Amino acid sequence: MRLYDTARRAVVPFQPRDNRVGMYVCGITPYDAAHMGHAFAYHVFDVIARRLILLDVDVHHVRNITDVDDDILRVARERNADYRTVGDAQVQRFDRDMADIGLLPVDAAPRATMHVAEMVRWIARLHEEGYAYEQAGWVFFDTAKFPRYGRLSGLDVATMTALSRERGADPDDPRKHNPLDFVLWQQSAAGEPSWPSPWSDGRPGWHIECSVLSTGELGHPIDLHGGGDDLIYPHHDSEIAQAEAIGVAPYVTHWVHVAMVRHQGEKMSKSLRNLVFVRDVLERVPGPTVRILLAAHHYRESWTYDEDELREADERRQRYHVAMQSDATLDSDDAQDYERQFLERLDDDLDTPGALRIIDLAAAALTHGAVRSRGGPVKAEEVLGRLLDTIGARAARRSESVGPAA
């Protein structure tokens, strides 16, 4: 299987070592419902996992949960609730949404709050080795000590600095030695949850959890680490820095990033309030339709969610359904041929749109009932079922696969 690697900037063979793959995907902060951007990202890694499993690879799929950060604390405050209550409820909703669009359960979903002690140890080590400094209870990573900082994103320090100034970020925080230094540990404000540490009763910065959770579950190097492409900088660049600085290197062998989903002309994001929630889409179409819609887009190309495409995806799902319900069969030779082409598309940098086109052909052949007998018949249900299963778009139940979109 060939996949684009962000670090090498090329489509390269993805080589599992020992037939085992540790895959770590940056998960959600559970304070709001999952939107189509989340669905797209996690769908992509689900397809990768399914394809690897088909190749007989033992996949260990880990997706973390950032259950303490500014956003979730803010929401908890607004609702006058405990942040853990907010988090638990959102995690449940998230799991349900993902299950309903047919994502395989991940093998581990570690939560940041369960591993703060390890984070403290990690930060302490960075501090001891001179990669971090303390300022009144806060600890910052010293990017000047790590010259490779920013290499994943391809940004050099000067550009990053200039950019952050332009964006009105906070590079001028007087506590920072360098504008790009990032928070490893922060002192908790009154009323915020806190954990003991040598520097203050506080809580971890955003980036540290992923280095700790990923290597905690998978060791290193991580075979495949991914997430949305908005995480490349600063999140993943910072992960690399804090890991490789203390010898957890190489940290990751293959980076996979998924493009952004847009809506109404802009990136779907919380701050723009242009979210399309997975649940709302599922109210109108079955899970497989959502998967077909997502699979119709290549993971490295950003796309715009729109209703026409949702309708087309549902029509496609219905065509597949009709083909699968038919009595038609294909010769085993032809069936194998479709499957081979389908997998070839997937193995070529996860070309799911191309793979869908192969399913279209197979479905058309079945509905047109072209049956020849050469090598024995293969049932429609079996041919299409296997292909659809690989992209998570096989109807779970018969009742789920009938009826038009609302």
Instruction: Kindly report whether the peptide bond that precedes residue 221 is cis, defined as omega within 30 degrees of 0.
Output: yes
Residue pair 20/366 in contact by the 8 Å Cβ criterion = no
Q: Find, among 9, 1, 29, the residue nearest to 257 by Cα.
A: 9
- Taking the C-alpha atoms of residue 31 and residue 275, their distance in angstroms, rounded to an integer, is 14
| Binding of RNA by 2 (CB under 7 A) | no
- Taking the C-alpha atoms of residue 232 and residue 247, their distance in angstroms, rounded to an integer, is 21
Letters for 145-164 (x = contact with RNA by CB under 7 A, - = none) are --------xxx---xxx-xx
| Binding of RNA by 326 (CB under 7 A) | no
Report in angstroms how near the CB of residue 397 gets to RNA at its nearest. 28
| CB closer to RNA out of 331 and 351 | 351
Residues 70-129 that bind RNA (CB under 7 A): 71
| Binding of RNA by 142 (CB under 7 A) | no
Report in angstroms how near the CB of residue 48 gets to RNA at its nearest. 14
CA distance between the termini of the chain: 38
- Taking the C-alpha atoms of residue 306 and residue 289, their distance in angstroms, rounded to an integer, is 14
Q: Find, among 67, 48, 47, 60, the residue nearest to 106 by Cα.
A: 60
Q: Which of 26, 112, 328, 383 binds RNA (CB under 7 A)?
A: 26
Q: Which of 48, 224, 261, 355 binds RNA (CB under 7 A)?
A: 261
- Taking the C-alpha atoms of residue 111 and residue 159, their distance in angstroms, rounded to an integer, is 34
Letters for 165-204 (x = contact with RNA by CB under 7 A, - = none) are x-x-xxx-------xx-x----------------------
- Taking the C-alpha atoms of residue 4 and residue 348, their distance in angstroms, rounded to an integer, is 9
- Taking the C-alpha atoms of residue 394 and residue 406, their distance in angstroms, rounded to an integer, is 20
Residues 282-321 that bind RNA (CB under 7 A): 300-302
Residue pair 177/142 in contact by the 8 Å Cβ criterion = yes
CA triplet 11, 17, 21: central angle to 5 degrees? Answer: 80
- Taking the C-alpha atoms of residue 207 and residue 214, their distance in angstroms, rounded to an integer, is 11
| Binding of RNA by 281 (CB under 7 A) | no
Report in angstroms how near the CB of residue 274 gets to RNA at its nearest. 9
Q: For residue 301, with 0-12 CB atoms within 10 Å meaning exposed, 13-18 middle and 19 or more buried, which class applies?
A: exposed
| Binding of RNA by 348 (CB under 7 A) | no
> Which residue stretch of 22-30, 111-119, 242-250, 390-398 sits at the interface with RNA (rule: CB under 7 A)?
22-30
> Which residue stretch of 66-74, 279-287, 306-314, 382-390 sits at the interface with RNA (rule: CB under 7 A)?
66-74
SS3 call for 20: strand
Report in angstroms how near the CB of residue 14 gets to RNA at its nearest. 16
- Taking the C-alpha atoms of residue 144 and residue 157, their distance in angstroms, rounded to an integer, is 9
Report in angstroms how near the CB of residue 40 gets to RNA at its nearest. 5
Report in angstroms how near the CB of residue 192 gets to RNA at its nearest. 16
| Binding of RNA by 262 (CB under 7 A) | yes
- Taking the C-alpha atoms of residue 106 and residue 225, their distance in angstroms, rounded to an integer, is 14
| Binding of RNA by 260 (CB under 7 A) | yes
| CB closer to RNA out of 60 and 298 | 298
Letters for 225-254 (x = contact with RNA by CB under 7 A, - = none) are --xxxxxxxxx-------------------
List residues binding RNA (CB under 7 A): 6, 9, 26-29, 35, 37-38, 40-41, 66, 69, 71, 153-155, 159-161, 163-165, 167, 169-171, 179-180, 182, 206, 227-235, 258-262, 265-271, 300-302, 354, 357
